[in-house]
Structure 1
Amino acid sequence: MAAAPNHRASPRRASRRRLPWGQIGTHLVLLLLAVLFLFPFYVMLVTSFRSPSELFTPEFHLLPQEFTGLKYYIESITTSPVLTFMKNGVIIALGILVMQILTAIPCAYALAKFEFRGRNLLLALVIFALTVPIQVPALPLYLGLNALGLLDSYFAAMVPFFLSVFAIFLFRQSFKSYPDEIIQAARLDGLSEWAILWRIVVPGSIPAIAAFAVFSITTHWNDLYWPLIVIRSNELMTPPLGLATFADVESGENYGALMATATILTAPLMLVFMLAQRQFVRGVTMTGVK
């Protein structure tokens, strides 16, 4: 008797039919977007190794035709206080971040877990304040700092950002998802609201805090508008202001040294993001979960 035909497909043929074309298309689109976003950084890095004669030629080469080595990096460090610019950027960015966390966390906890009259109105004001750019209060802030004699200082560069409505909104969304049962149990155990906040709720919201830290540090490290208004001395220049020192009166911008300096000043931000990448993704994805 002849054996019945085997209608089961071979594993190789079945795997071909189950080929996830949708996933392949998604990854191709993401790869294309990654190339588009990373291409300016690639040009910045390659330009820091090109000779001046290659910068204005009509042909574009992926690699330098004449490799200059570390010439522009040495020039960047020796002819300008790049390390001072980085130190100022660290002081200002971290100072703003610390004050934002200390002020935003209690406000967000009150909006998330306390029932009081006017809470929804306060939340609406927080959301409305997200739409107000720094250019709107810039003139009153400048006049006030000038009247107090506080211009050209670290405090002047940091004070407009001590209270972040974005941090309040982000932390409020994170605290909102924290179980009320745990907070009620801590209250029954005799813990104060301050202890509950800093010893229980905040440790459970580390991903949201890390996500905001990446946003805050990146924003204020790259900020040019406000430091350009209040900073006058070279000793207090932030990284974006420091890039302006590479202007040559006779030949224009020294693009090689400019790109080398931009690479040096961008590297810390990329390192911070790489170290906080996992917490950043978790913080962004979890703050909307209730």
Structure 2
Amino acid sequence: MSAIRLSPTAAILRHGVLVLTSAFILVPFVWMVSLSLKSPGEIFRATFSVLPAQFYGVDNYAKAITSVPLPRYMGNGLLVCALILAAQILVCAPAAYALAKLKFWGRDFIFAMVLVGLLLPHQVLSLPLFILCYKLGILNTYLALVIPYVVSPFGIFLLRQFFKKIPNDIVHAARLDGLCELAIVWKIMVPMALPAVITFSIFSVVAHWNDLFWPLIAVRDGNLMPAPLGIMAFKNEEAGNDYGPLMAASTLVVAPLLIAFLAAQKWFVEGMTGGSVK
């Protein structure tokens, strides 16, 4: 199918809208990086400039790393995100395969419940999850940060849509070769749906790396705090109104996500569009 050609005016208008939208999104990040390079006196000047008049970045970043255990907070966040992602893939891939390729009573109802789960914000479940973690005795542990996110409705939905694209003949051939259903999931379906897996991984890591609400409830030990909760403690206890180190800490926390997204951008786009194209 040939691409739709736009008139020069429409093309200019479209690119103008994209540029304005991108600028609107990028301004807070540019401002954050700019403030992380400035001295305290320059931050509160009436006039704003992107480049600092006096470079203060080394002091701000050094203070962000040394004043509080920011590397420990980021390590906690990395560990929690890795555990959540591994558990989600272990649960979501077989569930998505069952909903996409197996026929059983109640399949449509279960998929409808998955769609309902997409509509519910996680904060709605915070109270029952807190009670559950209390009953299990896992509050203020890494498990309290991981268990509530093991089942991901979005992950099941995304992988199901991608699995449905895979021809049934491949599944039938694998069964004739003697593979069980779980072997088909891990040896055939997941490798073929790698773009969808990478896309879901990006969404999962970004969501849980930036999560503040649940860690604020589930943990109190400073050694268990992930990065967003650690930054909040940094601001309240150490930095106060010293926004230079605070912005430096925020930049260090955002940087890994930006690098990961740029590295996986190709697979991200393919995974987002693959499940919707026949």
Q: Does the TM-score normalized on the shorter chain lie above 0.5?
A: yes
Q: Deviations over 1:3-52 (max 9, x none)?
A: xxxxxxxxxxxxxxx98443343223222222211111100000001111
- Please state whether the residue corresponding to 1:266 is helix, strand or coil: helix
8 Å CA contact 1:246–1:254 kept in 2: the answer is no
**SS in structure 2 of the partner of residue 43 of structure 1:** helix
Q: Aligned match of 2:136 in 145, 148, 173?
A: 148
Of stretches 57-66 and 92-101 in structure 1, the one that deviates more from structure 2 is 57-66
How far has the Cα of 1:116 moved from its partner?
A: 1.4
Q: What is the letter of the counterpart of residue 97 of structure 2?
A: Y
Aligned partner of 1:185 in structure 2 is: 173
TM-score by length of 2: 0.93
The whole-number CA distance in structure 2 between the counterparts of 1:33 and 1:54 is: 28
SS of the aligned residue for 1:70 comes to helix
How far apart are 1:159 and its partner, in Å?
Answer: 0.6
Q: Structure 1 pair 26/98, CA: closer, same or farther in 2 (3 Å)?
A: same
Decide which of 50, 54, 58 is 2:46's aligned counterpart: 58
Say whether residues 1:87 and 2:86 are aligned partners.
no
Task: Point out the structure with max Rg over C-alpha.
Answer: 1
Structure 1's unaligned 5+ residue stretches are 1-17
Letter in 2 for 1:96: I
1:226 and 2:221 are equivalent in the alignment? no
- Tell me if structure 2 keeps the 8 A contact 1:47–1:259: yes
1:32 to 20, 42, 55: 20
Residue number in structure 2 paired with 1:76:
64
SS in 1 for 2:208: helix
User: Matched residues in 1 for 2:199 and 2:120: separation?
Assistant: 22
Q: Percent identity?
A: 45
Aligned to 1:171: 159
- Paired with 2:255 and 2:74, the residues of 1 have a C-alpha distance of 11
After superposition, the C-alpha distances for 1:145-198 in whole angstroms (9 at most, x for unaligned) are: 223321111000111000101100110000011111111122222222222221
TM-score by length of structure 1 reads 0.89
Q: What residue ranges of structure 2 are gaps of 5+ in the alignment? A: 1-5
Aligned equivalent of 1:274, options 262, 273, 278: 262
Counterpart in 1 of 2:116?
A: 128
**Which amino acid is 1:26 matched to?**
R
Between 156-165 and 60-69, report the one with greater CA deviation: 60-69
Q: Does residue 214 of the first structure (1) align with residue 214 of the second (2)? A: no
Question: Cα RMSD between the aligned structures?
Answer: 1.8
Contact 1:104 1:164 in 2 (8 A): yes
Matches for 1:105-120 after TM superposition, within 5 Å: 105-120=93-108
The one-letter code of the counterpart of 2:184 is I
Tell me the alpha carbon deviations over residues 99-142 of structure 1, each in whole angstroms, 9 at most, x when there is no partner.
Answer: 00000000000000111121111111110111112222211221
Is contact 1:50–1:64 with CA below 8 Å preserved after alignment?
Answer: yes
Code of the residue aligned with 2:88 in structure 1: it is Q
Partners of 1:139 and 1:19 in 2: CA distance: 54
Counterpart of 1:158, as a letter, is V
Residue 233 (structure 2) aligns with:
245
Q: Is the helix fraction higher in 1 or 2?
A: 2
Say yes or no: does 1:287 pair with 2:275: yes
Aligned equivalent of 2:245: 257
**Alpha-carbon distance in 2 for matches of 1:24, 1:179:** 41
Would you say the 8 A contact 2:199–2:271 is kept in 1? Answer: yes
Q: In structure 2, how many angstroms separate the alpha carbons of the residues matched to 1:253 and 1:126? A: 44
User: How many positions carry a matched residue from both structures?
Assistant: 273
- Aligned mate of 2:127, from 116, 139, 159: 139
For 2:235, the aligned partner's letter is A
Q: Describe the superposition over 1:224-257 as per-residue Cα deviations: whole angstroms up to 9, x where unpaired.
A: 0000001101111110011113336798332001
